[in-house]
Amino acid sequence: MDRIAELCAYIDACYTFADVGCDHGYCTQYALERGLCRRAIIADVSAKSLSKAEKLLSGHIASGAVLSVCCDGLDDIPEDTEQVLIAGMGGEEIIKILSRGFIPRKFIFQPMKNAPLLRRYLISRGCNITRDDVFGDDKFYFVIKGTRQGAAPDYDELEYAFGRDSLKNPAFARYAATELNKKLSYLGGCDEGSDSSSLRREIALLKGAIERYERKTNS
């Protein structure tokens, strides 16, 4: 599985695209090479990471199509940027970036952990989530795509935990089965008397999600 290609399939055609936490710059390269954006901003808090993207995209920087900024989160990203990608960071870090900055007009977030926290944050800020899905084979990645404006969805507990579209996706069934097995084996190894309540709750959520997936796909 090519994570960059799977992730970048979420990018809509737009005029300006910003890749925050761009590191190598592959996502921006993907967007430019497929004509998905006319202008792009590559941004990273680490000058060393950013230099990789600058090297990769040097031709586009020279032509003026790409602007490179070394900044924390959205600090130097214009608020009217049409579409912003933040991928490969934790959900809490993404929330910090949005709280200090702004919610982009159109966004794609791919949190490495704490996706449920990010969903709750976005919905509490009134964002519309247009796709909330997962991809992967043995490693799985949740992607939350949406817009600053529009109606926030009325998620239930399972949708907050895993994303609305994931619950219909065969990739999710594979993820959930793997996670459930892992957690059941942790539970089996827990000492008697230790507090396993959060593990039991995670197991219950996974079982509920698998049941819903099976109901949806069998109906």
Please give the Cα distance from 93 to 102 (Å, whole number): 14
Which of residues 12 and 23 has its CB atom nearest to ligand SAM in the complex?
A: 23
**Closest CB to ligand SAM among 44 and 159?**
44
Residues β-bridged to residue 43? 20, 69
Strand partners, 90: none
DSSP string, 156-209: -HHHHHH-TTGGG-HHHHHHHHHHHHHHHHHHHHSPTTS--HHHHHHHHHHHHH
- Give whichever of 48 and 193 is closer to ligand SAM, judged by the CB atom: 48
How far is 118 from 112, CA to CA, in rounded Å?
11
Nearest-approach distance from CB 219 to ligand SAM, in angstroms: 35
Taking the least distance from each CB to ligand SAM, the nearer of 141 and 160 is 141
- Selection from 102, 105, 150, 107 nearest residue 126 by Cα: 150
Where along the sequence are the contacts to ligand SAM (CB under 6 A)? 20-23, 44-46, 49, 72-73, 87-89, 93, 97
Distance in angstroms (rounded) separating the CA atoms of residues 81 and 87? 17
Q: Work out how close the CB of 210 gets to ligand SAM at its nearest, in angstroms, rounded to a whole number.
A: 28
Q: How far is the CB of 12 from ligand SAM (least distance, A)?
A: 17
Through-space distance between the first and last CA atoms of the chain, rounded to whole angstroms: 29
Distance, in Å, from the CA atom of 203 to the CA atom of 133, rounded to the nearest integer, reads 20
Tell me the residue number closest to ligand SAM, measured at CB: 88
CB of 134 to ligand SAM, least distance (A): 15
C-beta of 107 vs 160, nearer to ligand SAM: 107
Contact 44/53 with Cβ under 8 angstroms? Answer: yes
Kind plus residue range of the DSSP H or E element containing 53:
helix 47-56
Q: How far is the CB of 124 from ligand SAM (least distance, A)?
A: 21
Q: In angstroms, what is the minimal distance from the CB of 66 to ligand SAM?
A: 15
| CB nearer ligand SAM, residue 73 or residue 146 | 73
